[in-house]
Structure formats: structure tokens, C-alpha cells
């Protein structure tokens, strides 16, 4: 008797999924190819999704369409999970006031300002909802106001990161305000949607039970991560076929999603968000390998399908309900969406000035997943009409595009201030160096004489100034400071020497690096006390590595975006005299070498650290940040 262990039907139409996957792959490629990186990919995905839905995906009754809807819902759940994961709970807790409040302390506290900003936004949104009801029928002004309160951490974070403002005081104010808006919006949405659907019943306490479950899992997790056996198994099974950390994360998401489903469909949004918030407590702000894998799963597959399907379900015919008032309604809605965020931003004027504060308000006006989700839930509940739902989808596209644009116009980045690396000469090596420094979130500015070359470098999204490295005025223009590194790499060895000589003798600058290709050039640079890189030796070493240790070389080169080496000096008194085995380093950090005075050695568990030691650490960005905090002490 034959037993069929697994029965798989191949009678399934994969064409719709192929079309959607093709768009997801093609959009970022085209944006990069046509140098349109400033346009968020999700905008193009929604627009192309509309055309695909109209001409390629077929009837919504088809099985393949239902599968796409399931994948889109999975993408939405993943997006809410990652939104929770982006929030640094430790940072919010650290902002709790611990001293007697004064006006000055209040305005400097990101948590209190964020809460106040949210309340002002909520009040203004309700007034805006009442005003907009003169254009069309709004069944629930409160729910409509909640939709307008939303913001998008997913848009704000990349903008601040690209400008190197995440760690700045202004950046932290923005991030915490956006995080608070996200958390409170989702909570208010959930309770409001539940009451609209079921009425005010005792069943609403089940939502509170979800928060109780969050706390229970948090306490269990804290104890669980302390077990040596769990740590050992997690490390052994985190890679290769097991990928236990990814499986555990998916299990965590589904636990909260399933619990939410038992309470009500409208609670799934909160459940997915809380699962991300819970994991964020254990990962803290670290950029671990798990985060890289989760980003790959979410933004690599599920989340693009969600946005493409949003476009596929967009119905322009729904606008017919507005009759002649459509244009006025959309214009007034867009103005209101900006106004309710810009007015509260005046709380930041005292700290950052009016121009920067208002620019922050415009950036906070960006809305994406939450506004789309809230409108869709409102449509299902009957409190949002199809026309209003379509309007909010359109507003999500417009605010995602306009908010970062207005922010950069009102608050242009000043790369000349602060820490930066100056690269003289716009060679391909210089461009690659600037890109790699940008990956490590370090500012770099290129000085190039040729106008067409400047345009080409600028088109790559890099900072470049047209100028001559032999002209003293250019160094005043770029505000060169003693702590700035200057890399001299023009096409001429003679010119390189002259520029280095000018920097050393005329300006007295010390941090200079240049290229040395032959003995006489190397001697000339050493006389000027310029650090040199011997291109011949570097090439020879590279070829040697390709021959002797090819796998190691390729692994290091191909993964430099995720891993790097950092030299960290021990400054913390708490570390002085401790052994390596006594210090809790990040699991994604490897101690490669310790340099003490003129001696270098490989560290092991018994190695002692001393103040002034230089430790070479290899690992992910978050692991290196963690190592800096441990070895230098928290600032």
C-alpha cells in the first residue's frame, strides 16, 4: 500500500506574482539608473501597482489574486513589525524627566516635547476634520483626525541618516517625536476601531490584555536570554540552514498576530507593532545580523508586494463622489496635513531656530504605511468612504515625495561644518573613497578643478566643490579644521607634492594622506611628514591575498557595507584592569588585536585592558558602536 506523504499541485498561475516581483526588483534599479534616488521607491511601486492592477493582475476573484492579497497582508504585518523594531525604547525611557521641570528643561526634553507636539497635532487635526467636512460627508471626525495625526518613521530615518543628523540633538528630537506619534497613533487607532465596530463593551479589556502579554513576554525574554544553554544554542543555530533567530522572530510576530486576531481584525496592526517593539527591547539600538536578515526578508520581498497591491487596489472612480469639490478638497487636505505638523514644530524654535524647526515640521508631515492602513480599516468599518480612502492613498504619495524635498530646501545640509574628510582630486579612487566613507556615515567633500567631472561626481550624490588644491582660498571656503583629514590624490605626482607642501608649510595642517608610487616621491612626502599609501604595494598585497587566501579576501571586500574594522582607544576607567572574559562585548564583534605602546598582540580571555590601549575590532556597525561605548565609556 503506497502512502502519499506530500501532495503538491502545480496547477497555479505564477504570472501575477512574477509581474509583481519584477516591479519590486525593477523600481530601485530604475531609480538608481536615472539618478532619482531622492524619490522614495514606494511611491513608484504604488503608481506602477495601479497600472499592473488595471492591465495585468486579472480579476480579484482569481486564486492567484487572493495569494497576492495574502502576501500583501504579510508585507503590511512585516512593515508594522519593523516600525516597532525601529523604535529605541531605551532612548525614550532615558528622556523621562528626573529633575524639577522648568520651561528650559521642558523644551530640551525630547519626550515631553514629543508628547506635547502629538497632543497639539491631534487637536489641530480634529479642527481640520471639522473644516474638511464642508467639502464632503465625514462620518467620524475623530477617526478622520486620527488618520491625519500619523507620521512615517520609515521616511524620516533615512532622510536624517543620509544627512548624518541621526545622532545630533535635532535628529534625536525628531526621531523621538516620530516614535511617540507612531506608538500613540496605533494605540488610539486600535481602541477607536474596536469601539466603532463592537461598541464600548468589556471586551475592550482584551486589548489591554495584549499589553499584559507584551509585559509577560518581556519578563520571560529577559530571563531566557540569561540561560547559558539558550545562548549556546542560539549561536550554534543562528546560521546556515537553521537560522534559528529568524525563525524565532517569525514565531514572535505570529504569536502577537494570532492573539490580536482572537480579539478582533482591527487589532492586528497593534499586535504586529508590539512584537517589533518587544524585540527592540532585546536588540536595543544595535544593528545586528538579525536586523540585516529581517530587512532583507521584509524590504526584499513582502513589503514591496504590499505597496504594489495598494496601487493595484486604487480606484480613481471613487473620486466621483466629490463632484465639483474634488480639487478644492484635495488641496485643502494636503495643506491641513502639513499645517497640523508644522505648527507644533514651533516648540523647537528656541533650540534650533525658526527655519530648522519649520523644516522639521515639514519632514514630520511625511506619511506612509499608517495613513494607508488607517484609511483601509476605516473603509472596512464604514466611517471612511471609498473617495476619502483614495484621497488618503494619494496624500501618502504626495507627502512622501514633498516632505523630504521641502525639508532639504528649508534646511540645506552644511557639509562644511563639523567632522569631514577633504579629498583633493576627483579620480575614480577618490569617488570610491567618498562612497565608502558615506557608508560609515562620515562626511566627505571632493575638490575638483574640471567642471564636467564635478557634475559627474555630483550626479552620484556626492559632495563636490569646484576648486584648485593649490589655491589657499579654497581651504577657507571649505572651512578646513585641524581635525579634518585631507587626502591628496590628483592625476599628477608633482601636483600632489605641491599641494601637500602648501598644506604643511602655508596652513600648518598635519592630517594629510597622499599616494606614493616610487622612491623619490615617497622621500619627498616623508620630508613633509605626510602619511603615504604605496599603490604598488597595495596592488601586490591584493594579488597576494587573491592567490593565498581568496575566500577570506572576497568575503571581506564584498561585505564591507555590513562589516568593518575600527580602532578604539580604551578610555573607560571601568574597563581599566579588567580581563577580556569579564567584559560583555556584542556577539557580532571580534577583537582582532590590541596595541599597547610599541607592542601589538592577539587578545584572549585572560588579556587585561589598560587605559590608552588601542583595540582593533571587527564587526557590524552596531557591534562597533557597542564596543566604543564599552571601551570608551558612555558619553
Give the domain CATH number at 432: 3.40.50.720
- C-alpha count within 13 angstroms, C-beta hemisphere, residue 293: 14
Same domain, 279 and 172: yes
Same domain as 278, residue 360: yes
Domain termination residue (choose one: 505, 540, 575):
540
Q: Which residues of the chain have pLDDT under 50?
A: 1, 285-287
CA-to-CA distance for 514 and 425, rounded, in angstroms?
A: 11
CA distances from 166 to 240, 430, 617 (A): 33, 26, 23
Residues 427-483: pLDDT tens digits?
888 888 888 787 666 788 899 988 888 888 887 778 888 888 888 888 888 888 888
The predicted pLDDT at position 434 comes to 86
Q: What is the pLDDT of residue 287?
A: 46
Helix (H, G, I), strand (E, B) or coil at 459: helix
Pair (142, 87) in one structural domain? yes
Q: Which three cell numbers stand for residue 319?
A: 473620486
The verdict on residue 546 lying in a domain is no
Separation between Cα atoms, residue 151 and residue 155, nearest integer Å = 9
CATH of the domain at 611: 3.30.70.1450
Residue 502 lies in a domain: yes
269 belongs to a structural domain = yes
Q: Can you state the angle between helices 326-342 and 141-149, rounded to 10 degrees?
A: 60
Do 353 and 496 share a domain, yes or no? no
Identify the domain boundary among 359, 377, 410.
Answer: 410
What's the first-to-final CA gap in the chain, in angstroms?
Answer: 72
Whether 108 and 232 share a structural domain: yes
Report the C-alpha gap between 429 and 276 in whole angstroms: 41
Final residue of a domain: which of 376, 410, 444? 410
Amino acid 553: pLDDT: 66
Span 516-564, pLDDT tens digits: 777 788 888 888 888 888 777 777 877 877 788 777 666 666 555 566 7
Residues 89 and 145 in one domain: yes
**What is the C-alpha to C-alpha distance for residues 193 and 374, in angstroms, rounded to an integer?**
9
Q: Which three cell numbers stand for residue 615?
A: 583595540
Kindly state whether residue 265 falls inside one of the protein's structural domains.
yes
Residue 66 corresponds to which cell in the numbers above? Answer: 487572493
Cα-based angle 212, 215, 219 (whole degrees, multiple of 5): 140
Domain presence at residue 54:
yes
pLDDT of residue 1: 46
Pair 321, 470 in one domain: no
Q: What is the DSSP letter of 299?
A: I
- Please check whether residue 547 lies inside any domain of the structure: no
Residues 406 and 439 in one domain: no
| Whether residues 528 and 571 fall in one domain | no
CA-based nearest residue to 213, from 271, 265, 262: 271
What local confidence, expressed as pLDDT, does residue 8 receive?
Answer: 61
Based on the domain organization, do 140 and 233 belong to the same domain? yes
The C-alpha angle with vertex 276 and arms to 275 and 279, in degrees rounded to 5, equals: 90
Task: Flag whether 80 is in a domain.
Answer: yes
Are 207 and 315 in a shared domain? yes
Let me know: does 450 contact 385? Beta carbons within 8 Å.
Answer: no
Residue whose C-alpha cell is 607634492: 497
Structurally, how many domains does the chain consist of?
Answer: 3
Q: Classify burial at 379, counting beta carbons within 10 Å of its beta carbon; exposed 0-12, middle 13-18, buried 19 or more.
A: middle
Do 173 and 245 lie in one domain? The reply is yes
Domain of 51?
15-410
Q: What is the CATH number of the domain that holds 328?
A: 1.20.1530.20
User: Per the structure block, which three cell numbers stand in for 404?
Assistant: 523630504
Percent of the chain as helix, strand, coil, to the nearest 5: 65, 10, 25
In a domain, 549, yes or no: no
pLDDT for the residue 254: 92
Amino acid at each position: 500500500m503506497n502512502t502519499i506523504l506530500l501532495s503538491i499541485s502545480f496547477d497555479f498561475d505564477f504570472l501575477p506574482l512574477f509581474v509583481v516581483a519584477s516591479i519590486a526588483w525593477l523600481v530601485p534599479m530604475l531609480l538608481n539608473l536615472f539618478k532619482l534616488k531622492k524619490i522614495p521607491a514606494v511611491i513608484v511601486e504604488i503608481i506602477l501597482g495601479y497600472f499592473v492592477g488595471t492591465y495585468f493582475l486579472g480579476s480579484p476573484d482569481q486564486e492567484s489574486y487572493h495569494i497576492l492579497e495574502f502576501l500583501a497582508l504579510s508585507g503590511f504585518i512585516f512593515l508594522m513589525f519593523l516600525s516597532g523594531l525601529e523604535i529605541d525604547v531605551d532612548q525614550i525611557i532615558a528622556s523621562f524627566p528626573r529633575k524639577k521641570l522648568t520651561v528650559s528643561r521642558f523644551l530640551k526634553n525630547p519626550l515631553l516635547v514629543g508628547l506635547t507636539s502629538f497632543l497639539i497635532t491631534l487637536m489641530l487635526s480634529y479642527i481640520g476634520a471639522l473644516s474638511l467636512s464642508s467639502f464632503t460627508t465625514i462620518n467620524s471626525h475623530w477617526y478622520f483626525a486620527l488618520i491625519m495625526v500619523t507620521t512615517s518613521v520609515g521616511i524620516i530615518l533615512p532622510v536624517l541618516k543620509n544627512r548624518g543628523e541621526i545622532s545630533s540633538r535635532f535628529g534625536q528630537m525628531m526621531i523621538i517625536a516620530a516614535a511617540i506619534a507612531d506608538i500613540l497613533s496605533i494605540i488610539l487607532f486600535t481602541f477607536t476601531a474596536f469601539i466603532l465596530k463592537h461598541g464600548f463593551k468589556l471586551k475592550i479589556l482584551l486589548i489591554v490584555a495584549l499589553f499584559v502579554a507584551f509585559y509577560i513576554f518581556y519578563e520571560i525574554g529577559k530571563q531566557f536570554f540569561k540561560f547559558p544553554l539558550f545562548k549556546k544554542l542560539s549561536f550554534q543555530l543562528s546560521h546556515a540552514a537553521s537560522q534559528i533567530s529568524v525563525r524565532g522572530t517569525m514565531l514572535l510576530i505570529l504569536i502577537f498576530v494570532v492573539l490580536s486576531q482572537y480579539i478582533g481584525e482591527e487589532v492586528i496592526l497593534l499586535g504586529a507593532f508590539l512584537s517589533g517593539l518587544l524585540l527592540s527591547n532585546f536588540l536595543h539600538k544595535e544593528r545586528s545580523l538579525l536586523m540585516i536578515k529581517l530587512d532583507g526578508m521584509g524590504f526584499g520581498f513582502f513589503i514591496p508586494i504590499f505597496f504594489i497591491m495598494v496601487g493595484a487596489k486604487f480606484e480613481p472612480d471613487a473620486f466621483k463622489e466629490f463632484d465639483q469639490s474634488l480639487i478644492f478638497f484635495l488641496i485643502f487636505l494636503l495643506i491641513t496635513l502639513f499645517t497640523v505638523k508644522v505648527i507644533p514644530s514651533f516648540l523647537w524654535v528656541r533650540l534650533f531656530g525658526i527655519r530648522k524647526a519649520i523644516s522639521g515640521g515639514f519632514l514630520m508631515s511625511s506619511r506612509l504605511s499608517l495613513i494607508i492602513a488607517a484609511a483601509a480599516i476605516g473603509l472596512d468599518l464604514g466611517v471612511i468612504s471609498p473617495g476619502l480612502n483614495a484621497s488618503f492613498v494619494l496624500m501618502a504619495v504626495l507627502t512622501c515625495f514633498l516632505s523630504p524635498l521641502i525639508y532639504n530646501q528649508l534646511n540645506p545640509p552644511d557639509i562644511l561644518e563639523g567632522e569631514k574628510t577633504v579629498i583633493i582630486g576627483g579620480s575614480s579612487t577618490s569617488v570610491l573613497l567618498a562612497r565608502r566613507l558615506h557608508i560609515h556615515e562620515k562626511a566627505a567633500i571632493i575638490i575638483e578643478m574640471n567642471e564636467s567631472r564635478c557634475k559627474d561626481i555630483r550626479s552620484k550624490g556626492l559632495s563636490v566643490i569646484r576648486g584648485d588644491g593649490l589655491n589657499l582660498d579654497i581651504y577657507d571656503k571649505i572651512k578646513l579644521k585641524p581635525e579634518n583629514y585631507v587626502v591628496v590624490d590628483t592625476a599628477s605626482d608633482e601636483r600632489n607634492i605641491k599641494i601637500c607642501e602648501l598644506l604643511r608649510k602655508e596652513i600648518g595642517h598635519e592630517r594629510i594622506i597622499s599616494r606614493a608610487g616610487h622612491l623619490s616621491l615617497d622621500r619627498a612626502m616623508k620630508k613633509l611628514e605626510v602619511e603615504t599609501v604605496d599603490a604598488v604595494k597595495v596592488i601586490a598585497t591584493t594579488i597576494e591575498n587573491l592567490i593565498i587566501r581568496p575566500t577570506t579576501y572576497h568575503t571581506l571586500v564584498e561585505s564591507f557595507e555590513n562589516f568593518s574594522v575600527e580602532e578604539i582607544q580604551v578610555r573607560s576607567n571601568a574597563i581599566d584592569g579588567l580581563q577580556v572574559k569579564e567584559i560583555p562585548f556584542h556577539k557580532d564583534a571580534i577583537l582582532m588585536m590590541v596595541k599597547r605602546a610599541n607592542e601589538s598582540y592577539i587578545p584572549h580571555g585572560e588579556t587585561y585592558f589598560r587605559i590608552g590601549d588601542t583595540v582593533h575590532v571587527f564587526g557590524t556597525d552596531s557591534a562597533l558602536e557597542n564596543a566604543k561605548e564599552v571601551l570608551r565609556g558612555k558619553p
